[in-house]
Amino acid sequence: MQRESLIYIVEDEVKMRDILKINLSNRYNVRFFRDAESALCSFESDRPELVVTDVRLPGMDGIHFMSRIKSSNPALPFIVFTGYGSIDHAVETMKKGAFDYLVKPIKIDELVQSMDRALSYIQVFKSAPSVEREYRVRIQGEDVQFVTRDQMTVQMLTLSQKAAQFRSPILITGETGTGKELVARYIHQKSGRKGPFVKLNCASIPHDLLESELFGHRKGSFTGAVQDYAGKVALSDGGMLFLDEIGELPLDIQAKLLHVLEIPEYYPVGSNVKKEIDLYLITATNRNLRKMVDQGSFRNDLYYRIAVIPIKIPPLRERRCDILPLIDYFLRRKQRDLVISPEVKLKLLEYRWPGNVRELMNVLERSVLLAENSILADVVFDVELDSSPKTPDGALVEEVPDNWEEFKQYKARVVKTRKIELEKRFIEKLLIQHDGNISETARKAGIDRRQLQEMIKELNIDVAIFRRNRKSTDE
């Protein structure tokens, strides 16, 4: 039961309203209306979290009613049903913002599953702080935008814009696929510097060629140096040098980079002619540089030189309110007139996205290519979206405090989080085995049904997604 969430049901047929009251009133907190106008009058004071409406209503029809509400409440899910259904009509209705579309005669178990999915969907948005309006940053020279509704990400972009006004080195941290290069390009765009944006991935160049790639070389200075080469530092003069994966830079090259930051001059490999440089440096990493400093694999003095202004990009799993706006942006950018089924929306929202935005874009690219009609359904996703908690390779880990009292709090927090993750995985595994049947799952787990239901509620598990293939709900 999800009685705490108010649900509007708009249905003009008395018999249908009575059927819905009998079957739904003991399960949900529902309020019934016979027309859209009455529901609109009460909407502002009630603020329901889900609306279920018939298409054909006296006066304002259900589609117009939905458009009116969603113009100021875009995240509010609508479930629309009608006695005159077709695939074209379903697609058109979902394009206009419906969460789900059902055809009369309504099967109560299907309606319940759809309502449970919709309520889980809205809870996802509640769990992540977001700004009221979508925040978009266009990156010059790139056919992409940075799209977000997440409060922390908006603050990160605001800090990036302010940091661009100074010459201080910037260190961007974040997991693989979060968009570190996009943020670096945005800073260059806002800096007003006339020179180019020059990128070097420190992990992609062999160790013995890194110095030459960075500082350039004279012809004949080593085997294979058949002509002079300016190097990335020289190419970025008056612009911006972006060193990605700075944690992969060898210690000897770190020392040379430190020298350039302290005194803006350098010598190309094989040359005794000093070159001066107007350098603006941005570095990025998905590694924990502080830990590398402690281990001796990264210079302490260089770390403090490059991290004058630290900028951290949150992973996608911490800004789930961005997932659907990113999907919408991707589909519009591809000029694909597609809608996404409720099952897929929920799956995409619940997945942990260890590869972050890059992984999301790759999944969508593949799915769009495989789509056979206008709705992206579950079967289209040929990758296994495993929603079990995982830590991505190379992810930044939280620093262990060096104060005992702080460590005790940290330890308690980690133990509690791990306990919750294990309990959730245990219950979800049994729910999968028993197709979402509460009684059978409780029996297998060796606990009573009420205790299992309490755990499901505490762990915020949506049982409806495990009942996807069932013909009837658990009694």
Q: How far is CA 162 from CA 186, 310, 314, in A?
A: 11, 12, 18
Q: Token pair for residue 117? A: 């999915």
d(CA 295, CA 458): 41
407-442 pLDDT tens trace: 777 777 777 777 877 787 788 778 877 778 898 899
Report pLDDT for 413. Answer: 75
| pLDDT mean across residues, the chain | 83
Report pLDDT for 9. Answer: 97
135-184 pLDDT tens trace: 777 777 666 788 888 888 888 998 898 888 888 899 999 999 999 999 99
- Among 113-122, 139-148, 215-224, 260-269, where is mean pLDDT lowest? 139-148
pLDDT band with cut points at 50, 70 and 90 for residue 472? very low
Q: What is the mean pLDDT of residues 347-366?
A: 87
Residue length of the chain: 475
Strands 170-173 and 145-150, by their bridges, are: unpaired
> Which residue did the predictor score with more confidence, 426 or 91?
426
Which of 128, 178, 189 minimizes the C-alpha distance to 156? 178
Q: How far is CA 194 from CA 81, 259, 299, 379, in A?
A: 57, 24, 31, 49
d(CA 158, CA 154): 6
Q: Token pair for residue 26? A: 């003991």
Q: Is residue 429 packed enough to be buried (19+ CB in 10 Å), middle (13-18) or exposed (0-12)?
A: middle
Residue 146 contacts by C-beta under 8 Å, 6 or more apart in sequence? 136, 137, 139, 157, 179, 182, 183, 186
Which of 6, 7, 113, 4 minimizes the C-alpha distance to 51? 7
Report pLDDT for 329. Answer: 87
Kindly write down the DSSP assignment for every residue of 13-57, as one continuous string: -HHHHHHHHHHHTTTEEEEEESSHHHHHHHHHHH--SEEEEESS-
d(CA 173, CA 307): 10
d(CA 399, CA 368): 40
Report pLDDT for 255. Answer: 95
- Among 9-18, 155-164, 466-475, where is mean pLDDT lowest? 466-475
d(CA 124, CA 113): 17
Range with top average pLDDT, 256-270, 340-354, 453-467 = 256-270
Report pLDDT for 391. Answer: 44
Which amino acid does the sequence have at 171?
L
Report pLDDT for 387. Answer: 43
d(CA 54, CA 82): 6
Q: Is residue 50 packed enough to be buried (19+ CB in 10 Å), middle (13-18) or exposed (0-12)?
A: buried
pTM of the model: 0.63
Q: What is the mean pLDDT of residues 88-106?
A: 77
pLDDT band with cut points at 50, 70 and 90 for residue 381? low
H helices then E strands: how many in the chain? 18, 16
Tell me the Ramachandran region of residue 179: left when phi exceeds 0, alpha when psi lies from -120 to 50, beta otherwise: left
Contact 360, 176 (CB under 8 A): no
Residue 373: count of CB within 10 angstroms of its CB: 10
Domains and CATH numbers, the chain: 2-127 (3.40.50.2300), 134-312 (3.40.50.300), 335-380 (no CATH), 404-467 (1.10.10)
Strands 78-82 and 50-54, by their bridges, are: parallel
> Which residue did the predictor score with more confidence, 39 or 125?
39
Q: What is the mean pLDDT of residues 374-403?
A: 53
Q: Is residue 408 packed enough to be buried (19+ CB in 10 Å), middle (13-18) or exposed (0-12)?
A: exposed
Strand, helix or coil at 367?
A: helix
pLDDT band with cut points at 50, 70 and 90 for residue 473? very low
d(CA 385, CA 317): 13
Q: How far is CA 92 from CA 97, 156, 231, in A?
A: 9, 37, 55
